[in-house]
Structure 1
Amino acid sequence: MAGLKALIDGKNEKGFACFKANDIKGVANLFTEDAKIMPPGSDTAHGREGVEKAISGYRAAHGVTTLKLKSEEVGPMGSDFTYDRGTYTAKAEDGTVADTGKYVIIYKKVGGDWLIYIDIFNTNKA
């Protein structure tokens, strides 16, 4: 299980770097081609193009430039799926906290690589 947690933490770090660099295509490439992302207050977005739109919209709506996930639970779901559940903190360029919440990400093994298949997150803000 420690190896799985390290793998997920590595994927998260890559995503953080892309997000901070405003490399939305780089973030989307961490997702499967048939991905689903379910941001708060929005319909489910499908595929990498949908992920790009959802992530760009979230950045713009909240003024977010950095994102950090804190995995609280990681576990296998058979041989080709795993999940990551935890909390997130999103910060504006000046370092102030723009949003906090919780998430569940389901990873799918595609061609030997683990990619995000389903991402749902919910803000703690009312």
Structure 2
Amino acid sequence: MANEEFRATNRVFEEEVVGRGDFGALERVYTRDARILPPGAPTVTGLPAIADFWRGAAEALGVLGIKLHTVSLDVLGDRAQEVGRAELAVKGGGAPVALKYVVLWKRGAEGWRWDVDIWNADS
């Protein structure tokens, strides 16, 4: 089932990339030419640059974990659109930081991957 494929990819991001700090696992999350559109920053393109971005952001923010929750998922051929919310746990305790996101997915030979990723704070 396609939804399980999407969830499996999101889980790689949650558990391996953010949870374990394995930024090499991003190759199982993003397409090779993916773009991320971080809030208040320029677009970042391509896996090496995206890995550098996430490595730096995780360290700077003291990220401990993330949980992604799909709100809606629409699939049309080899493209899909996911709208979701996320909870980001950071050092220092307190309530998780609430985020909202949109991911444009693309299906290739390796399966479903994030092709465009944009997010911002929920408040």
TM norm structure 1 = 0.86
Aligned to 1:60: 59
> How many correspondences in the alignment?
122
Aligned to 1:16: 14
Quick one: distance in 1 between partners of 2:12 and 2:26? 8
Q: Secondary structure at the match of 1:10?
A: helix
Corresponding letter in the other structure for 2:6: I
Instruction: Rate the CA distance shift 1:5–1:95 in 2: closer, same or farther, 3 A.
Output: farther
Instruction: Rate the CA distance shift 1:11–1:95 in 2: closer, same or farther, 3 A.
Output: farther
Aligned to 2:5: 7
Quick one: distance in 2 between partners of 1:9 and 1:95? 27
Quick one: distance in 1 between partners of 2:11 and 2:92? 21
Corresponding letter in the other structure for 2:63: V
Quick one: distance in 2 between partners of 1:57 and 1:99? 18
**Is the CA contact (8 Å cut-off) linking 1:39 and 1:54 kept in structure 2?**
no
Corresponding letter in the other structure for 2:69: K
Deviation, 1:5, is 2.5
Aligned to 1:91: 89
Aligned to 2:106: 108
**Is the CA contact (8 Å cut-off) linking 1:67 and 1:88 kept in structure 2?**
yes
* Offset from partner CA, 1:72-123 (integer Å, 9 cap, x none): 00011x3111111110111025654452210001110111511110110111
Aligned to 1:82: 80
Aligned to 1:120: 118
Deviation, 1:61, is 2.6
TM norm structure 2 = 0.88
Q: Secondary structure at the match of 2:33?
A: strand
Stretches of structure 1 lacking an aligned partner (at least 5 in a row)? none
Corresponding letter in the other structure for 1:22: G
Stretches of structure 2 lacking an aligned partner (at least 5 in a row)? none
Q: Structure 1 vs Structure 2: percent identity of aligned residues?
A: 23
Q: Secondary structure at the match of 2:97?
A: strand
Quick one: distance in 2 between partners of 1:68 and 1:118? 19
- Runs of 4+ more than 3 Å apart: 93-98
